[in-house]
Amino acid sequence: MVQDRREIEISTFIRNRSLGRRTALLALTATATAGCASSQASTQQLPVGKPRPFVLGGVRNVHQVARVTGPASPNKTSRYDIGGQDLGSMFEADGKTWFVFGDTFGTRPAGMTGGGGSNWRSNTLAYTTDDTPGDGIKLDGYIVDDTGWARQLISAKQVDNVEMTVIPTYGFAANGAMYLTYMSVKHWGSPGEWVTNYSGFAKSTDHGRTWTKLQTPRWPGDSNFIQMSVTKVGGDLYFWAVGAGRFGGVRLMKVREQDVEHRGAYRYFSGLTAGGVPRWSPSMKSARTIVDGTVGELSVVWNEYLHRWLMTYTDGGAGAAAIREAPAPWGPWSDSKTLLSQSKVPGLYAPFMSSRYTANHGRTIYFTLSKWGPYNVFWYQADLVKAG
């Protein structure tokens, strides 16, 4: 198939995407909020583990279970005109697990590395009811157009240095609707770095079929709230976030579910009181870094086996997939441990977990992983090993 100029250019622009602790004891009753009592959330259901020592000794038996996307995958995604796509973060809604993908392409030349190909869509969405992760994930379908091909959900201008693409970074359900967090990418820069216009939300009220970009809330493109991982606990939504790229640290914000579309209702973690209780500020500028590091494409879930919050992410500095633990959403977060290295899986990035997909009471975790070479998403598993 002959590619048009834009489809040829994308392989060059997208290629640039290849990979080149806070201290204090945490109170179990994390319901007080210093300095902003009016924003206190109902956190009585917030899982909080015992404070230090950290309990994750490492991981073992880390291996690929199956392909998720691509013509050679069990899902044979070429029937949706998908030859290559990446990311694959997951969220729950309507009794399904939804897989959120980034730049998606149809026909691709044999042996092509990285993004590129025909029928470029900036984002696509698949879903499944598969509850047996041990043998891979069977996708039930994609959100499709009238031809049966996977359809772009969130509009993108696809013009370099204006809006190169619109990448969804996570999804969540709230107030009976579905939401996607996304970043408007202005330009792909050096490996692991990019320039963004802003981040924001898209919303669907028809079970994922159509999506609307919300005008609020949005965060500036140079802020630390560009790529997000979202978890709902009780009546609150927690957002762990990093900036544009893979070379910055993590900050945390939260909002009551009912106020998710109101920018002024968001509260940013700004540190701990002398008694170890988290402070939440209405000012984004007050947000504290809870993980120092080179973090991109992050995913945070609660793990029952360790009784800890787990964070997986692309480590832009080490060129690896990394994992950390913490007793509470704000930390203290452990030092990073290698989940998978580039030497074992060249071109890896974006290790996304889901609380739905574990085994052995949480001892075994499953996650999606993108590979730059084949430019597709794969299904992996790892066994968590307790320290000592």
What confidence tens digit (pLDDT) does each residue in 56-65 have? Answer: 999 999 999 9
pLDDT in the model for residue 377 = 98
Residues in the chain, total: 388
Residue 343 has pLDDT above 90, yes or no: yes
CA distances from 238 to 241, 268, 284 (A): 10, 10, 14
- Mean pLDDT over 169-183 rounds to 98
What CA–CA distances, in Å, run from 363 to 47, 48, 131?
Answer: 17, 18, 17
| Contact (Cβ atoms closer than 8 angstroms) between residue 381 and residue 65 | yes
What's the average model confidence in pLDDT over 56-84? 98
Cα 324 off chain centre by: 15
What is the pLDDT, as a whole number, of residue 50? 83
Q: How many CB atoms lie within 10 A of CB 66?
A: 17
- Residue 114: per-residue pLDDT: 96
Task: State the amino acid at position 90 in one-letter form.
Answer: M
- Give the DSSP letter of residue 370: E
Check whether 18 has a pLDDT greater than 60.
Answer: no
| pLDDT, position 388 | 86
Percent of the chain at pLDDT > 70 equals: 89
Binning pLDDT at 50, 70 and 90, where does residue 7 land? very low
Region 52-56: mean pLDDT is 93
pLDDT confidence band for 38 (50 / 70 / 90) = very low
- pLDDT bracket for residue 45 (50, 70, 90): confident
H/E segment holding residue 93? strand 84-93
Q: Is the pLDDT of residue 247 over 70?
A: yes
pLDDT of 25 reads 32
Residue 240 confidence (pLDDT) above 80: yes
Task: Give the pLDDT confidence score for residue 16 in this predicted structure.
Answer: 40
Average pLDDT value for the chain: 90
pLDDT, tens digit, for every residue of 283-295?
999 999 999 999 9
Count of beta carbons in the 10 Å neighbourhood of residue 302 = 18
pLDDT at 11 exceeding the cut of 80: no
Sorted by where each starts, the structural domains of the chain and their CATH numbers stand as 5-16+54-386 (2.115.10.20)
Report pLDDT digits (tens) over 111-130: 999 999 999 999 999 999 99
pLDDT at 148: 98
Helix H or strand E encompassing 100? strand 96-105
> Does position 27 have pLDDT exceeding 80, yes or no?
no
- Band (223; pLDDT cuts 50, 70, 90): very high
Task: Tell me the whole-structure pTM to 2 decimals.
Answer: 0.89
Tell whether the model's pLDDT for residue 279 goes beyond 60: yes
The band of 51, judged by pLDDT with boundaries at 50, 70 and 90, is: confident
Please give the pLDDT value at position 122. Answer: 98
Q: CA–CA separation, 153 vs 123, rounded Å? A: 6
> Considering just the CA atoms, what is the radius of gyration of the chain in Å?
20
* pLDDT, position 52: 81
Q: How far is CA 251 from CA 142, 195, 222, 264, 301, in A?
A: 32, 19, 14, 17, 15
